[in-house]
A and B are shown apart, each in its own frame.
Chain A
Amino acid sequence: DAGVIQSPRHEVTEMGQEVTLRCKPISGHDYLFWYRQTMMRGLELLIYFNNNVPIDDSGMPEDRFSAKMPNASFSTLKIQPSEPRDSAVYFCASSLTGRGYGYTFGSGTRLTVV
């Protein structure tokens, strides 16, 4: 298995532009998580899905952030419009059981908003 695949690895965009981050979970996993990692706040859970349905989006910072999971093999995290304070590394993780030992993280997308 190729693991959790995220794209792009790096994204540089101008303030106000729309940004879309992509994630392909491990085949067969039924949970998908989006995390954000920053110097100030560490690793924050933004949203997670179970069987493609959003379960808890209380970590999404504001309405500029949205996430979708149209099918079991693909999820997107969109920021529109982007702001410099959104600069961070965004990780996607998937799990079969919803428990920590089953979490497999992708390599992350480093987002820089200038």
Chain B
Amino acid sequence: GESVGLHLPTLSVQEGDNSIINCAYSNSASDYFIWYKQESGKGPQFIIDIRSNMDKRQGQRVTVLLNKTVKHLSLQIAATQPGDSAVYFCAEMFSGGYNKLIFGAGTRLAVHP
């Protein structure tokens, strides 16, 4: 596969528990944020996004929270399943710039039965 064996922080959870993955972003001018999931051997896959005029956005089993004061994002996954095991990246963009998507370092989520 195409995973790079990143030495990342790892979050270990039991199947059925809720997971919270945190991310600090760098640019206070960033106004659009995305969470991506990368499974082994695959490219990053879009999960959910949020714009800076929002504090919270919910999807199916996932919620993203944005705290602009401290430049912090979190991804909450409800009832975590084995298929959620992957590396999760937050990404930021300044829409007034060149539409560059800048990725964070990533967190590995390990779900145990």
Mark A residues whose CB is within 8 Å of B. Answer: 4, 9, 31, 33, 35, 37-39, 42-43, 45, 48, 55-56, 88-89, 91, 93, 98-101, 103-110
Secondary structure type dominating chain B contacts: loop
Whether B42 sits at the interface, judged by CB under 8 Å, is yes
B101 touches A45 (CB 8 A): yes
Q: Tell me, rounded to whole Å, the shortest Cβ–Cβ distance linking A105 to chain B.
A: 3
Q: Which of chain A's residues have a CB closer than 8 A to the CB of B102?
A: 45
B4 touches A39 (CB 8 A): yes
Some 25 contacts from A to B, beta carbons below 8 A apart, are A4-B43, A35-B103, A37-B4, A38-B4, A39-B4, A42-B89, A42-B103, A42-B105, A43-B103, A43-B106, A45-B101, A45-B102, A48-B98, A56-B100, A88-B4, A89-B4, A91-B44, A99-B93, A100-B33, A100-B91, A100-B101, A103-B101, A105-B43, A105-B44, A110-B2
* Further contacts, 12 of them, CB under 8 A, given A89-B3, A91-B44, A99-B93: A31-B99, A39-B4, A39-B7, A42-B103, A45-B102, A48-B98, A48-B99, A91-B43, A100-B101, A101-B34, A103-B34, A108-B42
- Give the 9 A-B residue pairs with the shortest CB-CB distance, closest first: A105-B43, A100-B34, A108-B2, A98-B99, A43-B103, A89-B2, A56-B98, A101-B49, A42-B105
Q: Tell me, rounded to whole Å, the shortest Cβ–Cβ distance linking A101 to chain B.
A: 5
| Given A39-B7, A100-B32, A107-B41, CB of A55 within 8 Å of CB of B98 | yes
A107 touches B4 (CB 8 A): no
A108 touches B43 (CB 8 A): yes
Whether B113 sits at the interface, judged by CB under 8 Å, is no
B32 touches A99 (CB 8 A): yes
| Given A106-B43, A108-B43, CB of A43 within 8 Å of CB of B89 | yes
Interface centre among A35, A100, A101, A104 (most CB of B within 10 A): A100
Q: How many residues belonging to B are interface residues under a CB distance threshold of 8 Å?
A: 29
B106 touches A9 (CB 8 A): no
Q: Tell me, rounded to whole Å, the shortest Cβ–Cβ distance linking A111 to chain B.
A: 10
Q: Which of chain A's residues have a CB closer than 8 A to the CB of B44?
A: 43, 91, 103, 105
Assembled-state Cα–Cα distance A32/B45 (Å) = 16
